[in-house]
Each structure stands twice: as structure tokens, then as C-alpha cells.
Chains A and B, each alone.
Chain A
Amino acid sequence: MVNPILIIALLLLFAFLMPLLGLLHRRLPAFATLILPAFNLYVAVNHFLKMDFIPVVIKTGGFRPPFGINLAVDHFSLFFLILVNAIGVFIALSYLLEEQDYRFHILFLLNLLGASGIILTGDLFNSFVFLEILAISSYALAGSRKEKPALEGAIKYLIIGSIGASFYLLGVFILYKVTGTLNIADIALKLQNAKSGIVYLAGMFMLVGLFVETELFPLNTWAPDVYQGAYNRIAVQFSSLISKAAIYLLFRITFLIFDDPLFYKLLLVVGLLTFVVAEFNALAQKDLKRMLGYSSIGQMGLAVLAFALYGMISHPEAFFAATLLIVNHAIAKALLFANMDNMSENATIDIRSVNPFSSLMFAIGALSVMGFPFTLGFWAKIEILGILLRTNLLFLFFLIILIFMVEAFYYFRVITNLFRGETVCRRLNPLLAFSLVVFSIFLVYQGFYPIFTFSWLNRALNALLNKAIYISIIAGGL
């Protein structure tokens, strides 16, 4: 089996070589950008299917952890790696074969590198470095459309993001001071029993950094601007790639290191606030992309909410619901944002002249996000509601049902406009259309028969929950 470090090494190699590739032949950069996520996907799927249920440690620098940095490969990381690189292939296939500027390809590849690095790493400071790679490439991508709205969103994002990053760094360093090591498993081992107050402070600092990237309240004010202003393919990247890698990091670190009721309560509150505020904001939007952006933020809040329920019930179903929601959202939002290419510029919710194909794509994506039966989203939302009922959190149960209805309302508002509008047949980009069809078929097929997704998800979650094995295999010990 291919060594997963090659995922990172090859992304780097090609990113560095890109200027030269750009000079050799105009089409070469685009070709590389398509090949690399596909290769990563192959490696990730291969490992997912063939690997044993023991995390694999890949050392770097020649020294075993905790003296050297290591990659920690288990089914949970592989699952997210598959998701992220699948979205990467989606974007590369649909959009990037046309892109001539080699710099854009560098930014895209390095964004993918940041995401894959965060998912693969087993070292806390290494996660900071890859988080920064992800963040900086996102700032550049957000501002890639050099028009007013995009630039405004990008600079807002940059300023909030750098403050968050600095706090994340400080939090990481405080953890180092307390435990003497930077390895995630080792820190988890050392902090297993008592957590002194300073660890909570470090955790808060790290959460500040992570909340920016995962678009959680109150550090997500940049997100609607970026979603509205940037190119559609960038919006796809934000909703389905960048935020998903960041939320992986949030889940991993919280579960392994800050496994504490106080943290879960905080995440519950933040997730709930994000979800409620974002969905009501979405309701009030006139611009279609901005509405979709607020919907993305809301879904992230809901995922964090579901994840935090673990703190209340200690049952893996909470993680199952959260991760299923993440998968559904990544695919459905990619579908929705990519589809915006087929709609007019500055589309509002009163969209009139439409293309029947894109109306259908929008409808499927929207139905999946709102959790309509026979789409993948249905299973995710049912799971969350089920947990809330079982744990007797009735206030939350009714509140969340209310918000689901709000969601359904604003999505159906657009769908009905779409199907009432005058049909216009536009020329579509065939590759984009192909990718859209693939994703929509996946959503509907899994809606009817979700066994495939469920079994993969369970495999991933078993790996995550087996905290003891993760720690004992990786923390080589001093």
C-alpha cells in the first residue's frame, strides 16, 4: 500500500514545480491539479478498505513520536481524507481544467494540502502549521475574484483569521508547557486525569482559532460576505472542503484532549447559537448566494451541536449524527454552489428565468440540506432528532424542529420560484454538469438505501472512539 506521506509530499512537489509546469505547457498545471486529488483519493480509499483497525504511525525526521512529528492514520482520518479529496476532484474536474493562471492552481493545491495535512497529522504544532496553510490559501482564494464584495470578505476574513490563528498558537504553546510534548496522543495521555485551570484557558484559546475556520458564532461574520462575493467554485471550496477539514480538527482535539463536560457544554451553546442565528438570517436574505452561505454556517452549527451532545449522553450516536450531517452538507452544498454557475449572475431568491436541469439540481441539493425524505440529509436530521428525544432534551427538540421548518420554508420558496419561472436553455459546461449529476445521484441513492454510507461511517467512528488504542499506539512514551 502506498505510504500516506506521499499524499503530502506529492502535493508539495507539484505545488513547487507549478511555475515551471506553467511555462512548459499551458494545460499542464490543470492536468496536475486533476491528477493529485484523484491520487490522494485512491490512496485514502485503498487504506480505508484494507487497513486493520489499528492506527498507523508514520514518522518523519527519522525519530519516533513524541520526539519526531508523526502522521496518525486511522479510519476516522481516512474518512475525512476521502471526503475532502472527493470534493477536490469535483472542483478540479468541473472548473479547473479551464483555468490558465498557474498561480491559481498553486493556491488550490496548497489549500488541499492544508486540509489533508490537518487530517493526517498527529502533532499539535504541525496542525497549527497546516491550519495556517489552509487559512492563507483560503484568504487568497476568497479574494481571487478581484471585485469589491470578494475583497471585502477576504480582508475581513484575513483579519479575524489571523487573530484566531495567533490565539490557537498560544493555546498550543500553553499545552506544551503543561505537558512537555507536542504530540496529540502524548498530550491526551498526560492530560487524561486531572486538568488544571490553565488547560481550560489553553483550550479556549485554541477554540478561538478553530471557530473562525469552522464558521461558528461569533467569529463567522466574514463568512456570508465571502460566500456572496467569491466565485462559485470558491464557495464550493469553503462550504465543502475548508470548513470540513477545520471541523475534523475540532472534533479530534476535543475528543482526544479536551474530553471534558465543560467543553462539550460550551460547544453545545456555541453550536446552537450559530445554528439559530444563521438560519434566521438566511430567512431574511434576498441574495441567493448569501442565503446559501448562511445556510452553510447554520449546518456547521448544527454539526457542532450534534457532536457536543456526546458530552451529555456519552453515546456514539451523537458523533454518528454529526459526521453524517457533515458528509451530507459537503456534498449537497457543493451541488448547490456549483449549480449557481448555471444561474444568472447575482441571482436573488426571486429567480425567474431558469434552466430545467439546474432547477432539478438545485432542488435535489436543497432537499438534501433540509432533510427531506429520500435524500441523505433525511437520515442525518432524523438521527439528531432521535438523540434529542431519547435524552429528554425536549426544549432543544422543539427548537430544532422549528428551525428545520424555517429552513424548509426558505428553500421551498426558491424551489417554487424555480419551477414557476420561464424556462431558458443555457449552454452548460459538460464536465460541470457531469459532476453535478454524480453528486445528485449519490444523494438520492443514499437517501433510499444508505447502507453504504452508514457502514463506512461506522468504521470511521469505531476508529475515533477507540481512544485507548490511539493513545497507546502513538504515544511511544518517554
Chain B
Amino acid sequence: MNIESLIFYGVPIYLIVMGILVILTTKNLFKMLLGLSIMDSGINILIVALGYIKGATAPIYSRYPEVFEKVVDPVPQALVLTAIVIGIAFLGLGLALVIRIKEKYGTVNVEKLKELKW
């Protein structure tokens, strides 16, 4: 495991881990959504990092028709584009639900949401 892998994979993985930790330990629903957002960012960064090629540039052939520069893998970038949008979608709906919960329960504290027993 070289130092570069450590940094470029370690940081997004740390984000993912922290995001999950926030979701597991906080009692505030809104903060859980924030943790979700952090986790999403971590995963997206990790995917892009996994697609990198040393010494290669973005897959845009601005000097067409000289085509054969080394370029990075375009597929992870396309996947991440979609994943980011899907992440926003989750957050939007999550926020709407939390707003409703605040209206009904008066609080966003998870401990108070024990209407349904196991």
C-alpha cells in the first residue's frame, strides 16, 4: 500500500466512515441527513479516485484531431454524475419528511419518535 493510495483512498473512506458514524450516533434527524450527505460525497470521491490514471488528463480532446493523449477513465465520471444527482434526490425527500415530522411531533429528536413499538 503506497502513500498515494493511502491519501487518495483514505480521505474519501474516512468521509464515508464519519458519515456512517454520524448517522449511528446522533439523535437529531436533521444531523442524520447531513451524515448521509457526507457519506454520499465520500463515496463519489472514492469512485472518481479509483478511476484515476497517473499522468493522464481529462477525457476531453480539445486538441482534436490529435487524439491520443493519455486520458482517465470516463466511465466512473459518468457514474458519479448520476450518483450525485441521486444523492440530492434522497436528501430532498428526506428533508421534506423531516419537515413533516417536525410539524407532527414538534421535535426532530429520534428518541421522541417512539410511537410504534418494536
A touches B (Cβ under 8 A): yes
**Do A166 and B105 touch (CB < 8 A)?**
no
Number of interface residues of B (CB under 8 A): 33
Chain A residue with the shortest CB-CB distance to B101: A151
List of B residues within 8 angstroms of A170 by Cβ: 43, 46-47
Contact with A along B83-118 (1 / 0, CB 8 A): 100100110011001101100110000000101101
List of A residues within 8 angstroms of B104 by Cβ: 146-148, 151
Give the secondary structure class of A's interface.
Answer: helix
Say yes or no: A163-B86 contact (C-beta < 8 A), given A148-B105, A228-B116.
Answer: no
Sample (24) of A-B pairs whose CB atoms are under 8 Å apart? A125-B79, A125-B82, A129-B86, A132-B89, A136-B89, A136-B93, A148-B105, A151-B101, A152-B115, A152-B116, A159-B23, A163-B20, A163-B36, A163-B39, A166-B40, A170-B43, A173-B50, A173-B76, A173-B79, A176-B75, A176-B79, A177-B50, A225-B116, A281-B118
Partner of B94, one of A155, A225, A229: A155
Q: What are the 10 tightest A-B residue pairs by CB atom distance, in nearest-first order?
A: A162-B90, A148-B115, A225-B116, A155-B97, A132-B86, A152-B113, A166-B43, A151-B101, A173-B47, A158-B94
Say yes or no: A166-B39 contact (C-beta < 8 A), given A125-B79, A152-B116.
Answer: yes
**Do A158 and B97 touch (CB < 8 A)?**
yes
A-B contact count (CB 8 A): 83
Say yes or no: A159-B113 contact (C-beta < 8 A), given A129-B86, A132-B86, A151-B101.
Answer: no
Number of interface residues of A (CB under 8 A): 34
Contact with A along B15-53 (1 / 0, CB 8 A): 010001001000001001100100110010011001000
Partner of B97, one of A129, A143, A224: A143
Task: Say yes or no for A149: interface residue by CB 8 A criterion.
Answer: yes
Most chain-A Cβ atoms within 10 A of its Cβ — which of B16, B94, B105?
B94
Chain B residue with the shortest CB-CB distance to A161: B90
Cα of A403 to Cα of B100 in the assembled complex, Å? 39
Cβ distance B109 to chain A, nearest Cβ, rounded Å: 12
Chain A residue with the shortest CB-CB distance to B86: A132
Most chain-A Cβ atoms within 10 A of its Cβ — which of B20, B39, B100, B105?
B100
Task: Say yes or no for A406: interface residue by CB 8 A criterion.
Answer: no
Contact with B along A157-181 (1 / 0, CB 8 A): 0110011011001100100110000
List of B residues within 8 angstroms of A140 by Cβ: 93
Task: Say yes or no for A235: interface residue by CB 8 A criterion.
Answer: no
Chain B residue with the shortest CB-CB distance to A173: B47
Cα of A199 to Cα of B18 in the assembled complex, Å? 25
Cα of A22 to Cα of B65 in the assembled complex, Å? 51
Most chain-B Cβ atoms within 10 A of its Cβ — which of A153, A162, A224?
A162
Cβ distance A95 to chain B, nearest Cβ, rounded Å: 22
Task: Say yes or no for A282: interface residue by CB 8 A criterion.
Answer: no
Cα of A153 to Cα of B29 in the assembled complex, Å? 13
**Do B115 and A149 touch (CB < 8 A)?**
yes
Cβ distance A314 to chain B, nearest Cβ, rounded Å: 35
Partner of B93, one of A129, A158, A163, A176: A158
Cα of A389 to Cα of B98 in the assembled complex, Å? 50
Cα of A153 to Cα of B16 in the assembled complex, Å? 25
List of A residues within 8 angstroms of B16 by Cβ: 166
Cα of A140 to Cα of B97 in the assembled complex, Å? 8
List of B residues within 8 angstroms of A169 by Cβ: 43, 47, 79, 83
Cα of A159 to Cα of B116 in the assembled complex, Å? 17
Task: Say yes or no for A139: interface residue by CB 8 A criterion.
Answer: yes
List of B residues within 8 angstroms of A152 by Cβ: 101, 113, 115-116
Cα of A151 to Cα of B107 in the assembled complex, Å? 13
A98-154 residues at the B interface, CB under 8 angstroms: 125, 129, 132, 136, 139-140, 143, 146-149, 151-154
Partner of A163, one of B23, B82, B97: B23
A57-91 residues at the B interface, CB under 8 angstroms: none
Chain A residue with the shortest CB-CB distance to B40: A166
**Do A151 and B100 touch (CB < 8 A)?**
yes
Most chain-A Cβ atoms within 10 A of its Cβ — which of B43, B90, B94, B113?
B90
Contact with B along A239-275 (1 / 0, CB 8 A): 0000000000000000000000000000000000000
